[in-house]
Chains A and B, each alone.
Chain A
Amino acid sequence: MSEVTLTNKRAKRRAAGPYGKVGKALNELDDRLGVAKGGRTFMDKIFPDHWSFMLGEIALYSFVILLATGIFLTFYFIPSSAIVTYHGSYLPLVGQKVTQAFSSTVDISFAVRGGLLMRQMHHWACDIFVGALVVHMARVFFTGAFRKPRELNWTIGVTLLTLAIGNGFLGYSLPDDLVSGTGIRIAYSIMLSIPFVGTYLAFFIFGGNFPGASTIPRFYILHCLILPLVIMGLVGAHLFLLVRQKHTQFPGEGRTEKNVVGSPMFPVFMAKTTGFLFIVTGFTALLSAFAQINPIWQFGPYDASRISYAVQPDWYMGFLDGALRIWPSWTFHSFGHTIPFEVLLPAVVLPGLIFGLAYAWPMLERLYTKDNEIHHLLDRPSQRPKRTAVGVAALAFVTMLFIASSTDVIANFFHISLNTVLWLMRITTILVPLVAYPIAYKICKEMQGVHGAGKRKTPNIVSRTVEGEYLATPTPAYHDDLGHDLAATVVPTFIESEPDDTDEGGVRIVDR
């Protein structure tokens, strides 16, 4: 009789235990490596669910796309400045003398199956990567997530942004096309502008005068090996600190400085974040399939004697280009030495100040507020009007510099004089942040005073009495807006055979 029961599927499953074959495999693993304890901690890791906490994930997954597509591109790209005659399928280039770097990039676009899609995905993912970094950084800044104990992670984050921008520029330069070659020329000149050491620095980095044969191979190694390794290491450190220090959370019911309220790593967060990886990848692929980016075959090969008007860098270098464009032409020339302030100040000193301020901000704020407490609960931007206003002003300043990098496009589009646009940008770049600060400050103050600001409006129920009088009765606030949806439950500290019936919302609470 018992043998008959065992052939029953359900009985077999019951005999295998609550976790079936997977559980058995894990058991075997646990017997040898002891993964159960750490694995349990890992799977119960709590991630707060707010949408703005996922912005960094856009950057992370864009970086994954960059790695994957980048590896594909290295199979076909030849990092060499050797001159070859192009004999590919793009007719207007046939017979032209081009570098191998350029020729192989055009071949990736036209001769390698799926090569153009990979190139475009790599480039779009880069634009999205840096964009997501900025958005993520803004979230961290405006909610005060950089405060003690997370100053180190903020520093790593700012470093990641600079490295991402730098590596983006290097990668943009690799195809050796007319537009990117102009960019390298500008970068070389910026290095030259540094007083006393500029020439030596430029010769050291570029391996001689511009244009040289060492530029492309050096940029290639930096772009594909050294900087990605550094970025990967820093991303690892960034995430390790995130796990070690646990995630911040917005204040709400059941959420204190002593706990973390959110979804456990397994299964809720894991499913969500894996899905998000696919969404980011799919969307980038979609964008790359339909929107052309950096058509280097139209630009042609770089040649120091050629120049195209209206050349801009990729968007994340735009603020530098804009600063260079609108800076007045000041030059110091004496004692047989020239210091080109018109290049040094906007392209070396200014970015140094911007990123220096970003690095120093947590320290500056602590000096100002004398706040030495540990913070795990986030601020609403409106609660900290001064910080928010500084952030808005800084973003406005960089955005105005970014817009200034398209002075020619603006002048052409609106049919106004380029000189007018130049002066307009000079004035507005200074004026807009000055105006943005008080406006942001006042809006924050205003929001503090208004109850329920930022929450959804509830409908009024209009009723008519028997006398014919109309009454508008406001309905109570939405359930979600009250923060009541996070009834927290204690996380189990041992593996239970029965599923946790209090796990309904997928929300748990765990001691820090």
Chain B
Amino acid sequence: MGLTSPLIKRAALFSVAGLFVLAPGALFVGAAHAANYNPTETSRRDAGTPNSTIVIKNKAGTVIEYGNKYILYNAPPSKLDNLGKALFMENCASCHGTQADGIPANGTVGAYPDLVGLGPATVDFWVVSGRMPSANPRVVEASRRQPRLTPNQALAIAAWVNSLAPSIPLIPTPNLANANVSDGAALFALNCASCHTIEGDGDALAASTFSPSLRNIPAYQVVEAIRTGPANMPRFTGNLSDQQVLDVTKYVTTEIQHPNNPGGFGLGGLGPVAEGFVGLLLGVGVLVLVCYWIGERE
């Protein structure tokens, strides 16, 4: 059977034809993927979850509730809109503008972002964690402080900003009973520890940027942070399912925030730095003092 065999000829013909059909298809799919993923300007509206079993819309067709048995996302109640507007004008408008559309970024510190369409979870997280209103708007990364506004006031601001252009992610309510802490530990090591450290204490990252400590953060705020990606943090949307986010949240709110420390004092989770200080100053130090005590002193 030579190269001129009809079977070979036919196979070659089909291959070439197939290639002509497949190549544009592959190109099209690739382009579609590329269009979907733009790291510099991601559409904030794609932050939903691919596996929402519950989707509830209001009369206007806006999604007001979605989620599944792991995390339920709710829109802030619209009756808070007026309160939110008043609070926004009082606390936020001086930087973000009266229409919450911010001051365009010009590459310098102190450009105030556009808040429209970011989703209520974003606004709620920044306000309820005390980062906003910022004490020093010129700082590169606002840090967590004692909140100026109550959780309800934060929710009101989120409600008003959301009313300008309804979007997601909505305010999450994680159902920790359905979480798997073991998967959470593995996901934490893979996705979070590279900045927040494996013990969740946070650390300085680069010039004026840092990863905050994960202690004393309520579960819903952990979900908000993962889904909205505040400051330097990447926004985990499609790459982590609601179940996985819930697992991480469970690990953070249990083992990270309340480590069992069966070995005694945890030494602040600083690892070998703290251990070295204790070993040298307390360990060697005390034993040298014992030497001084039992030896002859001149």
| Contact in complex: A127, B283 (CB < 8 Å) | yes
Interface size on A, residues (CB 8 A): 79
Closest residue to A481 on the B side, CB-wise? Answer: B298
Cα A419 to Cα B279 in complex, Å, equals 29
- Contact segment of B23-31, B103-111, B257-265: B257-265
A61: nearest chain-B partner, CB-CB:
B287
| Cα–Cα distance between A303 and B191 once the two chains are bound (Å) | 13
A interface footprint on B35-63 (CB within 8 Å = 1, 0 otherwise): 00000000000000000000000000000
Q: B288 within 8 Å of A by Cβ? A: yes
The interface stretch among B77-85, B159-167, B268-276 is: B268-276
Is B284 within 8 A of A128, CB to CB? yes
| In contact, B181 and A91 (Cβ under 8 angstroms) | yes
Q: In the complex the two chains form, is A294's CB within 8 Å of B275's CB?
A: yes
> Could you mark each residue 21-65 of chain A with 1 if its beta carbon is under 8 Å from any beta carbon of chain B, else 0?
000000000000000000000000000011111110110000000
Interface with A: B118-126, B196-204, B231-239, which one? B196-204
Given A132-B287, A279-B290, A314–B207 Cβ distance below 8 Å?
no
A152 at the interface (CB under 8 A from B): no
Look across to chain A and name the residue whose beta carbon is closest to the beta carbon of B184.
A92
Q: Shortest Cβ distance from A184 into chain B, in angstroms? A: 15
B274 to chain A, nearest CB (A): 9
Given A92-B185, A307-B194, A309-B197, A127-B279 contact (CB < 8 Å): yes
DSSP class of B's interface residues: helix, strand, loop or mixed? Answer: helix
A312 on interface, CB distance cutoff 8 Å: yes
| Least Cβ–Cβ distance between B251 and chain A, in angstroms | 6
CA distance A418 to B282 in the complex (A): 28
With A and B bound together, what is the CA distance between A265 and B118 in angstroms? 79
Cβ of B137: which chain A residues have Cβ within 8 Å of it?
A: none
With a cutoff of 8 Å between Cβ atoms, the chain B residues found around residue A54 in the complex are 291, 294-295
A residues near B288, Cβ cutoff 8 Å? 55, 58, 135
Q: Does A153 contact B (CB under 8 A)?
A: no
Does B190 belong to the interface (CB within 8 Å)? yes
Instruction: Decide yes or no whether A71 CB sits under 8 A from chain B.
Output: no
Total of A-B residue pairs, C-beta within 8 Å: 205
Cβ of B198 and Cβ of A292 under 8 Å apart?
A: no
Q: Does A162 contact B (CB under 8 A)?
A: no
Q: How far is the CA of A409 from the CA of B204 in the complex (A)?
A: 7
Residues of A within 8 A of B143 (CB): 415
Kindly report which residue of chain A lies nearest to residue B195, judged by CB atoms. A309
User: Across the interface, which residues of B come within 8 angstroms of A250, CB to CB?
Assistant: 298
User: What separation, in Å, do the CA atoms of A402 and B279 have in the docked complex?
Assistant: 14
* Residues of chain B within 8 A of A279, CB atoms compared: 287, 290
Contact A50 B295 (CB under 8 A): yes
Contact B207 A406 (CB under 8 A): no
A residues in contact with B204, CB < 8 Å:
407-408, 411-412, 416-418, 421
Contact in complex: B298, A483 (CB < 8 Å): yes
A 285-329 to B, binary, CB cutoff 8 A, 1 in contact else 0 = 001111111110011100101111111111100100000000000
User: Residues of A contacting B181 with CB < 8 Å?
Assistant: 91-92
A90 to chain B, nearest CB (A): 9
> Is B189 in the interface zone, CB < 8 Å from A?
yes
Taking a contact as CB atoms under 8 Å apart, the answer to whether A312 and B199 are in contact is no
A178→B189 CA distance, assembly (Å): 9
Q: Is the CB of A419 within 8 A of B206?
A: yes
Q: At the interface with chain B, which of A93-101, A191-199, A368-376, A386-394?
A: A93-101
Residues of the A chain whose Cβ atoms lie less than 8 Å from the Cβ of B210: 411-412
Across the interface, B196 reaches (CB within 8 A) one of A109, A306, A309, A417, namely A309
Say whether B275 contacts A127, CB under 8 Å: yes
Q: Which of B143, B186, B194, B298 has the most CB of A within 10 A?
A: B298
Query: Which A residues are in CB contact (< 8 Å) with B292?
Result: 51
The residue that A313 contacts in the complex, of B272, B277, B282, B283, with Cβ under 8 A, is: B272
The complex places the Cα of A110 from the Cα of B261 at a distance, in Å, of 12
A300 to B184, CA, bound (A): 12
Task: Tell me the minimal C-beta distance from A150 to chain B in angstroms.
Answer: 20
Residue of B at shortest CB range from A308? B198
Task: Knowing A50-B296, A51-B294 are in contact, say whether A307-B264 is a contact too (CB < 8 A).
Answer: no
Per the bound structure, the CA–CA distance linking A309 and B211 in Å amounts to 10
Judge whether A165 is part of the interface by a CB distance below 8 angstroms.
no
* A55, B279: Cβ atoms closer than 8 Å: no
In Å, the complex CA distance between A280 and B286 comes to 10
Is B278's beta carbon under 8 Å from chain A?
yes
Give chain A nearest CB distance to B242 CB in angstroms: 20
Q: How far is the CA of A325 from the CA of B190 in the complex (A)?
A: 24
A377 within 8 A of B: no
B294 touches A275 (CB 8 A): yes
A contact residues around B298 at 8 Å (CB): 50, 250, 252, 480-481, 483
A298:B259 contact, CB within 8 angstroms: yes
Complex: how many Å from CA A486 to CA B196? 60
Indicate whether A284 reaches chain B with its CB closer than 8 angstroms.
Answer: yes
Indicate whether B218 reaches chain A with its CB closer than 8 angstroms: no
Chain A residues with CB under 8 A of B261: 292, 295
Q: B86 at interface (Cβ–Cβ under 8 A)?
A: no
A178→B194 CA distance, assembly (Å): 11
Q: Bound state CA distance, A21 and B282, in angstroms? A: 45
Do residues A276 and B198 form an inter-chain contact, with CB atoms below 8 A?
no
Q: Does B150 contact A (CB under 8 A)?
A: no
Which of B189, B284, B293 is the one whose CB lies under 8 Å from A131? Answer: B284
Nearest neighbor of A110 in chain B, beta-carbon distance:
B262
Are B262 and A116 in contact (CB-based, < 8 A)?
yes
A311-362, CB < 8 A from B: 311-315, 318
Q: In the complex, what distance in Å separates the CA atom of A331 from the CA atom of B272?
A: 30
Query: Chain A contacts of B190 at CB under 8 A?
Result: 303, 305-306
Asked if A120 is at the interface of the complex by the 8 Å CB criterion, the answer is: yes
| Residues A51 and B275 in contact, CB atoms below 8 Å apart | no
Which B residue's beta carbon lies closest to that of A299? Answer: B198
Contacts of B183 on A, CB cut-off 8 Å?
A: 95
- Do B276 and A318 touch across chains, with their CB atoms under 8 A apart? yes
A313 shortest CB reach to chain B, Å: 6
CB pair B295–A315 under 8 Å, yes or no, is: no
Chain A proximity of B214: nearest CB distance (Å): 12
Give me 15 other A-B pairs in contact (C-beta within 8 A), A131-B284, A252-B298 excluded: A51-B292, A52-B291, A96-B185, A96-B186, A109-B263, A284-B283, A287-B282, A306-B193, A309-B211, A310-B203, A405-B273, A408-B203, A409-B270, A481-B298, A483-B298
Q: List 12 A-B contacts (CB under 8 A).
A: A51-B295, A51-B297, A57-B291, A95-B182, A272-B294, A290-B265, A291-B263, A291-B264, A308-B193, A315-B280, A411-B203, A480-B297
Cβ-closest 7 pairs across A and B: A51-B295, A315-B276, A127-B279, A292-B263, A411-B204, A308-B198, A49-B296
Interface residue ranges, A against B (CB under 8 Å): 49-55, 57-58, 91-96, 109-110, 116, 120, 124, 127-128, 131-132, 135, 178-179, 250, 252, 272, 275-276, 279-280, 283-284, 287-295, 298-300, 303, 305-315, 318, 402, 405-409, 411-412, 415-421, 480-481, 483
